[in-house]
Amino acid sequence: MQDRQEITMKFQELKALCKSAAEEVQKRDSLLVVSHVDADGLTAAGIICTALERRNIDYSSLFFRQLDETALENVADFGADLVIFTDLGSGMIQQICNLGLRAIVADHHKPAKAEARPLAHINPHLVGADGATEISGSGTSFLLASALSAEKENNDLAALAVVGAVGDLQNNASGALPGLNRLILEIGSTAGAVSFHRDLKLFGRQTRPVFKMLEYSQDPYLPGLSGNEDACIAFLKEIGIRLGGEKWRRWIDLSQEEKASVVTALLRKGLRSGLSSVMLERLIGEVYILLHEREGTELRDASEYSTLLNATARYGYADVGLKVCMGDRDKSLDEARTLLNQHRQNLVNGLKLVSTRGITPLRSVQYFDAGDSIQDTIIGIVAGMSFQMADRTRPILAFARTEEGDLKVSARGTHDLVRSGLDLAEALSRSAAAVGGVGGGHNVAAGATIPPQSKDEFLQLMDAVVSEQLSRQKMQNH
C-alpha cells in the first residue's frame, strides 16, 4: 500500500508535466481535442473542452474507437495548430510525431517505446504510477485543465474525473478509488462538486426500484435473487421493506434502518448460498455522488452517469455524450437516455448470445466469437459481464467483426489474476503485433485489432503469453 507522501509526490510530478502543456495551449489559435469512445474518454474530453471554453479558446473535437494509422491521418488532415489527445495516444507517440503533429497527450494507458517526444506527455506510468487503477484518462485531463485555470476555477471538474475513473472500473479492486484518484476526489469534495461514502454498491441506487436493483445485480451475482423478480420482491417483503405505493421506492428512498436491514439480509443469504467472502465484500464499498446533479437521476451517481455516457459514444453519438458532460440537461440528456435504453437491451442480447454459443476454454485463456452479432464498441463490456458464466481463473477474450472488416479483440481479466501475474496490455500488444495488428490497454483490461485470418494464430500466441505470465509469477512466489 502506497503512503500519502509517495502518492502526493507522483501527483506533483504529473502536475509539473501539465505546466508546460498549458503554456503550449495558450499559444495556439486552433485546437483539436481527440478522445476515446467510452465514459473515460468522454469525461476526459468534457473536462478539457470545458476548460478551453472557460478561457475563451476555440476548439473542435474528434472521437475514435481506436487510435491507429488511419485515425491519425484523419487528425493530421484536420490541420489544427495543436492536438490534445485525451484517454488515448500513449501507444502511438512515435506515429504522432512522425506525422509532424504538434501534440499534447493526456493518457493513462501504458506508453509504447518511442524515440520521439510530443510537446507534452502526461501519463501516470512516466512517474511510476499505475494507469489501470491509480488515475484514468479523465484524471490526467483534469490535471491539465487545472494547469489551464486561474486559481481553482476548474476544481469542480474533478467530479467528471471521478465519473471517468468509475467508468474505467478503477474503484473495483479495493472498493474505493485509490492512489492519484484519491487526491482528485478530495479536490472535488472540497469544491463541493462530489461526495463519497460507504454504501451498497449495486447499480441503480438512484433510478431503479429496489427489487429491480437486486434482480439485475450481476457483480456480485446474488444466488436466488439475480434474474428473478418474484424472488426479489418476496425477499424484500420478508424483511419488512415497503416496495411503494403509486411509485416504486428506490434505494435512495429508504431510511438508514431499512438499508441496514437489506444489507444484513443480503449478507446472510449470501453466506447461506455459499457466496465467497470476497464476493460479499463487493456488495459494500465507496459510492460517489455528484452534488450539482438532481437527485434521482442517472447523473447523480458516478456509476450510473458513466453507463449513460457509454451508451452514447459507443454507438456513434459522442457529440451527445460530450454535450451532457458539458452541462446540457435538455435535448442531449433526453437523447442520451433513449440511447441508454437501447444500450441496456443490446447488453442483454449480447449475454444471451454468449450463453447460447458458450465460452471456449484453452490452457490459460478462454474466448468467444460474436462475429457480427455484437457491436465491436460494446464487446468489451459484454466480455466483462460474461464472467458471471465463465471460469474466473482465466481471462476472457471476445472477438467481434468491425465495420471495416477487421477483427476487434477485447480482453478482460480479474484483479486476482493481475495479482497472479496477468498483464493483458503486454499480452495483447505482443500477440497482436506478431500477426500484423495493434493492441494495448491495461493489465486487467485491454483491446486489439487484428486481421480476421489471424484469429487462430493470435489465440495460440495469447494462450502462450498468458501461460508464461502466470507461471512466472508462481515461480517467483516459490
Domain ranges of the chain: 4-175, 200-346, 358-477
With cell 479523465, the residue in question is: 138
Q: Give the tens place of pLDDT for each residue, 77-115.
A: 999 999 999 999 999 999 999 999 999 999 999 898 899
Spatial distance between the Cα atoms of 252 and 213, rounded to a whole number of angstroms: 12
Q: Give the tens place of pLDDT for each residue, 242-252.
A: 998 889 999 99
CATH for the 358-477 domain, from 3.10.310.40, 2.40.50.140, 3.65.10.10, 3.30.2010.10: 3.10.310.40
Tell me how crowded residue 267 is: count the other CB atoms within 10 A of its CB.
15
Tell me how crowded residue 217 is: count the other CB atoms within 10 A of its CB.
22
Whether the pLDDT of residue 436 is over 80: the answer is yes
Q: β-strand 438-441 against 445-450: which pairing, if any?
A: antiparallel
CB 238 within 8 A of CB 262: no
pLDDT at 55: 93
pLDDT at 89: 96
475 — pLDDT class (breaks 50, 70, 90): low
Region 184-191 average pLDDT: 98
pLDDT at 473: 66
Whether the pLDDT of residue 278 is over 70: the answer is no
What does the angle CA 422 – CA 424 – CA 429 come to, to the nearest 5 degrees?
135
Whether the pLDDT of residue 478 is over 60: the answer is no
Task: Give, in order, the Cα–Cα distances in Å from 226 to each of 241, 242, 322, 416.
Answer: 18, 20, 33, 23
- What is the architecture, at CATH level 2, of domain 4-175? Alpha-Beta Complex (3.90)
Residue 367: which H helix or E strand, with range? strand 366-369
pLDDT at 265: 94
Whether the pLDDT of residue 306 is over 80: the answer is yes
pLDDT at 369: 97
Q: Give the tens place of pLDDT for each residue, 232-275.
A: 999 999 999 999 888 999 999 999 999 999 999 998 888 887 77
Q: Which three cell numbers stand for residue 189?
A: 469534495
Spatial distance between the Cα atoms of 361 and 396, rounded to a whole number of angstroms: 9
Count of H-run helices and E-run strands, the chain: 18, 13
pLDDT at 454: 97
pLDDT at 441: 85
Q: β-strand 396-401 against 407-412: which pairing, if any?
A: antiparallel
Q: Give the tens place of pLDDT for each residue, 29-49.
A: 899 999 999 999 999 999 999
pLDDT at 48: 98
Of the chain, the percentage scoring pLDDT greater than 70 comes to 97
| Residues 440, 43, 252, 340, Cα dihedral to 10° | -80
Question: How high does pLDDT run on average in the chain?
Answer: 93
Whether the pLDDT of residue 358 is over 80: the answer is yes
Whether the pLDDT of residue 153 is over 90: the answer is yes
Q: Give the tens place of pLDDT for each residue, 400-432.
A: 999 889 999 999 998 789 989 999 999 999 999
Q: How far is CA 38 from the centre of its chain?
A: 7
pLDDT at 333: 98
Region 380-392 average pLDDT: 86
pLDDT at 174: 85
pLDDT at 56: 93
173 — pLDDT class (breaks 50, 70, 90): confident
pLDDT at 440: 87
pLDDT at 442: 84
